[in-house]
Amino acid sequence: MSGRVQKILWSVILLIFFHSLRGQDIHFSQFWLQPETYNVADIINEEDISFKGTVRDQWLSIPVPYTSRQFSYAHKLNPNNKDSWLAFGLNLIDDKAGDVQYSNQSIGLALTSHIHVDQNYAIRVGMKMNYINRFLDESLVQLGSQFDGEQFRQGINPFDPALQGQTNYFSYQSGLSVHKLKEGKKDWSLSIAGANLNRPYTNDVLESVRPIRWSLLGSKMLPISNQTNLELVGLLQKQLSYHEIQFGVLQHISLNPFTQLTVGLSYRTNDALIGYLALQWNMFKMGLSYDYTLSPLTIANNYRGGPEFNIRYTITNVKPLKKNKACCPNY
C-alpha cells in the first residue's frame, strides 16, 4: 500500500474516533461484527488479539439525536493451542440519548472457551458480567401535566414517582455457538445467547426489573469462486413481547492476497433497509453501514436513517521458522 493511501486510512480512523458522532441506543446494524453485544461466545475467532471500535448515528433530524460508542478488546490466553483455547474480553459502552441527558455506560468482562469437537465442528461457550450505570435528568423531562396552557413549567410536579436520576446494576450474559468447517474454512455458524439472565433490579424510568433478552444468530457461506464468496447472515432478538429480525447477504471479494472488499444489503423487518461496505487490508478492517428508514418513523426522521462505523485491528501470532540443524555448503 502506498504512503498516500496509508495517510488516507489513518485520517479516516482518527476522524471516526475523535469526531463527535451521534447514534441510537445499544443496537447495531452490523450485528455480525458485534458479538460483545449479541453473543459473547464469539468475541474472537482465528486471530489471537482483537481491538474493535464502533460508533452509530441515528435520527439525524431530531434536535438531540442519539449517540452510541462501543470499544472492545479480546485476547486468547493460550493461542498456541488451536483445538482448545480460552479468551478474555473487555467491552466498554457509552450511550447517550435525547435532551433529558439519558446516558447508559457499561463495562463488561468476558471469558470464552473454544473446543474442537472434531475436524469439522467446534463449540464455543462464553459468559460476561456487565456493570452498568444509567442516568436520567428528570428535571429536564416535560410531561403533559407540566403544560399550563401557554408553556411548559419545570416547577410543576409531573406526579411521576417512577422518575429516578441514577441507577447502577450488574447484568449477566451468556452464549453458546456451534461452528461448522468445510475443508478448513468456515461453512456455517449458529449461536444463541441471553442477556440480563440475572434479571437485575434497575429502579429507573423504564422498568424495575430488566427482562431477559434472547438473541439467535446464524451465518452461512456460499463459495462462488476462488475470489468471491457470499455470506448469508441473520439475527432474531426477543425481549418480552418485543422482537427484532434482521437478515441480509454479504459479498466478499478478494482483490489481492492482502485486501478484501465486502458489500452487503440487509433488512430489519418493519424498520429499515441497510447498505453495507467494508474494506479489509492486512490486519485492518473498516466497515460502514447506513439505515434507510422504511417504517412510520420516517415522519419523525424525515427519511434520514443512521450511519454506523466499525473498525477492527487484529493480531495473529506467527511462529518463527525453525533453524536448520545442518546446512549444505555451496559447490
Query: What pLDDT sits at residue 244?
Result: 92
CB 81 within 8 A of CB 57: no
CB 101 within 8 A of CB 163: no
Query: What pLDDT sits at residue 27?
Result: 78
For the chain, give every domain's residue range.
3-315
- Indicate the SS3 state at residue 14: helix
**Which set of grid coordinates corresponds to residue 126?**
462464553
Query: What pLDDT sits at residue 208?
Result: 73
Query: What pLDDT sits at residue 96?
Result: 79
Query: What pLDDT sits at residue 6?
Result: 47
CA distance readout (Å), 210 to 14, 173, 300: 36, 12, 28
What is the chain's pLDDT, residue by residue, as a tens digit (331 residues)? 445 544 444 444 434 333 333 333 467 899 999 999 999 999 999 899 999 999 987 766 666 667 789 999 999 999 888 889 999 999 999 987 766 667 889 999 999 999 999 889 999 999 999 999 887 766 555 555 545 555 555 554 544 444 456 788 999 999 999 999 988 889 999 999 999 999 998 765 555 788 899 999 999 999 999 899 999 999 999 998 889 999 999 999 999 999 999 999 999 998 889 999 999 999 999 999 998 888 876 766 676 778 899 999 999 875 544 444 444 444 3
* Side-chain-facing half-sphere of 124: CA atoms under 13 Å: 30
CB 191 within 8 A of CB 176: yes
Sheet strands (E) in the chain: 49-58, 66-76, 84-97, 102-116, 121-135, 166-182, 185-195, 213-223, 228-239, 242-256, 259-268, 272-281, 284-293, 307-315
CA distance readout (Å), 291 to 5, 24, 298: 28, 11, 12
Picking from 77, 113, 110, 76, the residue whose alpha carbon sits closest to that of residue 93 is 110
Query: What pLDDT sits at residue 185?
Result: 85
Give the list of residues 6+ apart from residue 220 with CB closer than 8 angstroms, or none. 187, 188, 231, 232
Task: Give the CA-trace dihedral at 245, 223, 317, 179, to 10 degrees.
Answer: 50
How far apart CA 287 and CA 56 sit, in angstroms, is 12
For every residue of 103-114, DSSP letters joined together read EEEEEEEEEEEE
- The dotted CATH code for 3-315 is 2.40.160.40
